[in-house]
Amino acid sequence: MSTEAFVKYFGYRPGTSIFHRLDPRTKIIFYGTFLLIAVAWTDPLFLLSVLLVLIALYIIAGESFKRILVLLLVPFPGYILIFLYNLFLFDVTAGKAIPWDLHYIGWVIPKIGSFGPYGHVSIEGLIFATQVSFRLAIFILASRFLILTTAPQEIIIALRKLGLPYVIGFSLSLGLAYIPELARQVGVVIEAQSIRGWKLGSKANPVNVVRSFAPVVIPVILRSIIRAEYLAAAMTSRGYGLSKNPIMLREISFNRLDYAMIAASMTAFVVAIIISPWVLNIANFKFTTFLLVSK
């Protein structure tokens, strides 16, 4: 995938929605609330409602249904993998801490001859595995939402405002600037070597696989080193390092919308902690379990 296509689906998209207009610091706080939920809550119903809220946010931010669908589907194999992994191991991990007999309904891998069975599946296990996948989904959707509505430079500015040193901020932004150029460079080197019969290593032994990368890695690194010197000269000629605190191009400031959003985020943050398993223990996967197996 070219970098342009990658940015189209996974990068920042300029817009005018209320989220685009928020101060990047507000958005980082807002994002933090979702991260907290993804870490703290374990109940699939509670988490599902948060997922729905996130999808609603995407719609408000002007994202098309097609793109939302792509976003939901692309990480799906990952969700399934995490789901199966937890389903398989629930019995010997989280399941052990449950004070009642698990409601078994079958096996992940049934008995075939002398093989198996493996992965005793219970209703509790299903609910637990679902919530882990939901948490991953919240993490992905919330991160994507921050990236979608906040230009990378804005994130850097916000981090600088929050105390990140200028040099680190500049390095981040330099890296950002060079992504398309680096992608092009790697592409050209791969083409130049494949004309000479080079193929990506499929050699049996891992040392040979690593060695087969050398014809691509060496030119890319050497070109970058040569480029770095030219770049440093250009940066010097434009005064890099002469000012301890160069003027920030964009001044960011909180407005009323930001204060409202921060207040809402903080409230949600506190509520999330209160109902989390750490305090009142409501948003716990046992909540859904009771709903399903309370007979």
Partner 1 sequence: MIILDKVSWTYEGSSIEAIRNLNLEIRKGERVLVTGPSGSGKTTLARIISGLIPHFYKGDLKGEVIIDDIYTKHSRYEEMFGRVGIVFDDPSNQLFNPTVLEEIAFGLANLLSSRDELLERVNTMLKLFKLEDLAHKNPHNLSGGQKQLVALAAVLAMYPKILILDEPTSNLDLLGTSMVYNVLYDLTRERKYTLIIVEHKLEKFLPMVDRVVVLNKGECVFDGSPRKLVREAEDYIKLGLQIPITSLVALRLKLFRSEDAIPLSIDEFIKFIKISKQNIVFKPMRERPRRISEDLKEDRNKILVTASELWYEYPDGTVALRGVDLQIRMGEFIGLIGHNGSGKTTLAKVIAGLYKPTKGHIILNSEIIKTYFKESLIPVGYVFQFPDDQLFARTVYEEIAFGLKNFKIDPDDIRRRVNNIAKELGLEEFLNVSPFRLSQGLKQKVALASILVLRPAILIVDEPTTGQDFITSRKIMDMLKDLNEKYNITIVTISHDISLISEYCKRIIVMEDGKKLLDGPLNVVFSASNMNLLEKMGLESPRTLRFIKRIKEEQNMPFTEDDMIFRVDDLLDRINIEEESQK
Nearer to partner 1, 153 or 265 (CB): 153
CB 102 to partner 1: min, Å: 48
Which residues have CB under 8 Å from 149's CB, separation 6+?
A: 12, 13, 15, 17, 19, 20, 22, 27, 61
Burial label for 45, CB within 10 Å (0-12, 13-18, 19+), is middle
Angle, CA 284 vertex, CA 279 and CA 290 arms, to 5°: 125
- Complex with partner 1: residue 233 or 270, whichever CB lies closer: 233
- Tell the smallest beta-carbon distance from residue 224 to partner 1 (Å): 11
- What interhelical angle do 256-275 and 24-40 show, nearest 10? 10
- Smallest gap from residue 26 Cβ to partner 1 (A): 21
Query: Which CB sits closer to partner 1, 245 or 294?
Result: 245
Minimum CB separation from partner 1 for residue 24, in Å?
14
CB of 227 to partner 1, least distance (A): 6
77: its two tokens: 């194999």
Q: Which residues bind partner 1 (CB under 8 A)?
A: 1-2, 4-5, 8, 14, 152-153, 173-174, 176-181, 185, 188-189, 191-199, 214-215, 218-219, 222-223, 226-227, 230-240, 242-243, 246-249, 251
Distance separating alpha carbons of residues 126 and 289, to the nearest angstrom? 10
Taking the complex as a whole, the smallest distance from the CB of residue 150 to partner 1 amounts, in Å, to 13
CB of 3 to partner 1, least distance (A): 8
Report DSSP state, residue 112. Answer: B
CB-nearer residue toward partner 1: 116 or 187: 187
Token representation of residue 210: 């690593």
Token representation of residue 90: 């629930």
Nearer to partner 1, 24 or 119 (CB): 24
Q: Based on CB atoms, which residue is closest to partner 1, 101 or 251?
A: 251
- Report whether 98 contacts 268 (CB < 8 A): no
Nearest CA-CA partner of 289 in 84, 100, 139: 100
User: Of 85 and 166, which has the nearer Cβ to partner 1?
Assistant: 166
What is the smallest separation between the CB atom of 171 and partner 1, expressed in angstroms?
Answer: 10
Q: Measured between alpha carbons, how far is 210 from 194 in angstroms, rounded to an integer? A: 17
- Residue 109 burial (C-beta neighbours within 10 Å; 0-12, 13-18, 19+): exposed
DSSP string of 70-83, one letter each residue: HHHHTTHHHHHHHH
Cα separation, 146 vs 33, whole angstroms: 12
Q: In this complex, which beta carbon is closest to partner 1, that of residue 60 or of residue 234?
A: 234
